[in-house]
Chains A and B, each alone.
Chain A
């Protein structure tokens, strides 16, 4: 049986080559000048570039706002969907999952077109609305999953022991559903903070987010500066995932 563990070797090599090495290259390029010598200039350029800093701040702001709105709108929806007394139909759940299966660019484009026809000016408002529209299902689904699996007897016991419905929710249901909220945050915050095409569509190129700057630099062959920006985003992602890493995979597995 011990020999069977060798079956992981091809994948190990694959991971080193296509996952680890590319990330190492991001770091290497970030600290290199055009001639290949070591430099801190690329990182320094970011911190002295007020445009880049404000774009970075805006990206964080939009991502945080989007995540909060998704929690506020998504939690009640997930709660209702998971409650057998309030919702019996499996079709409504399918309807909430379905947008996750449709290409995000396509959905964004449809939203933008609708905004255009209704005569809305594309800008920060439409950007946020479009983002919420794109990512809400990714918040609802993991929370729904957790709530549905939750043992209802805890809430009932709390009620029997004299807790008001409000207390039951705040002290029992909400804490128990935290893993779902965490993986929801992961699935919403991460893509929003790093998005590039979606923000261009939704604001008609008026508002640039951090992802767009990375893309512009890479595409105009400014690989070193682009890598430095990518490294900064990588650090943000790393920090976020430290906070939310517990159960982030639970939501993905049960999609089908």
Chain B
């Protein structure tokens, strides 16, 4: 009985949680411009999303492209910067370590809007013209702390003697770094990269304040502008559906693989 109510509760929550997404997904398969208006099954919105058939299509795809470019560059740079920083921080002691860890925590606690406003003021103050570059810099600044926190635990798990042994056996510091250290840090770097990537994809407020007036649109700013105009680009429906399905599949694969490896370990 207890189990029944527990299951019921979970499923009611899930149904409510997913109702809007399912609703969007259903209406991505009809042509009607207004949502909620079913005019028969049609894949036309999917076609025009990729071919830019309707007015909104090509601008939307451009925004998706910008979002991905920014996320990939920001996540890659953040992973590099964060890993190097983590190696340094791992070897720091006392006050210095506390100070840098404190600063590292600031972007994680700071709300997006404050990060956005403060960086906007920075770029104004330094007279840096705002555009793609400033958005990427801003994204690196709030993504890197997550990489640092993903890599640090791997460093403390690592046996420092292995690195020393590599040096004793004649490896140059460079070789020891790439052949011994990096492979052990790789899982941390990977999860740092994925976290950074999704943080960047998700961002709206920081991009909004640091993109300047050059007309740069990411998916978030596009949606925001679109919703303010009132008329929602119909192609957003298939796009949201695709994103939803891709993430669902990715998460299921990741989790299945993880539970598999856990089972093997046991």
Contacts and interface: CB of A to CB of B under 8 A. Distances in A.
Contact of B114 (A107, A114, A237): A237
A133 interface: yes
A25 B9 contact: no
A52 to B, nearest CB: 16
A223 interface: yes
Given A25-B121, A98-B248, 7 more contacts: A10-B81, A10-B85, A14-B141, A76-B9, A103-B204, A112-B227, A214-B113
A5 interface: yes
Given A8-B92, A230-B117, A104 B204 contact: yes
B252 A2 contact: no
A12 B13 CA distance: 44
Contacts of A2: 91
Nearest to B198: A101
- Interface SS of chain A: helix
Interface string B70-91: 0000000000011011011111
B9 A256 contact: no
A106 B223 contact: yes
A252 B199 CA distance: 11
Interface stretch (A82-90, A145-153, A154-162, A166-174): A82-90
A117 B232 CA distance: 14
Interface string A49-76: 0000000000000000000000001001
A12 B100 CA distance: 7
A157 to B, nearest CB: 21
A80 B8 CA distance: 11
Contacts of A223: 121, 124
A218 interface: yes
B16 A15 contact: no
A179 interface: no
A40 interface: no
A256 B243 CA distance: 18
B125 A218 contact: no
Interface string B3-31: 10011011001101111110110000000
Contacts of B140: 14, 18
A86 B104 contact: no
Contacts of B105: 249
A7 B181 CA distance: 14
A46 interface: no
Contacts of B81: 10-11, 14
A14 B144 contact: yes
A197 B251 contact: no
A69 to B, nearest CB: 12
Contacts of A214: 113, 117
A117 B122 CA distance: 43
A237 B120 contact: no
Q: What bracket does the count of chain A residues touching chain B fall in?
A: 35 or more
B163 to A, nearest CB: 9
Contacts of A190: 109, 111
Contacts of A19: 103, 106-107, 141
A7 B88 contact: yes
B11 to A, nearest CB: 9
A253 B150 contact: yes
A109 B227 contact: yes
A90 B254 CA distance: 11
A6 interface: yes
Contacts of B19: 114
B20 A110 contact: yes
Interface in B212-228: 219-220, 223-224, 227-228
B20 A94 contact: no
B6 A107 contact: no
A99 B19 CA distance: 12
A226 interface: yes
Interface in A105-131: 105-107, 109-114, 116-117
A233 interface: yes
Interface string B114-134: 110111111011000000000
Given A22-B118, A26-B114, A109 B232 contact: yes
A138 B204 CA distance: 18
A252 B146 contact: yes
Nearest to A8: B88
Contact of B87 (A4, A26, A94, A99): A4
A91 B249 CA distance: 11
A109 B223 contact: yes
A18 B201 contact: no
A94 B227 contact: no
A134 B266 CA distance: 36
A193 B227 CA distance: 22
B113 A25 contact: no
Contacts of B137: 18
Given A8-B92, A87-B10, A110 B111 contact: no
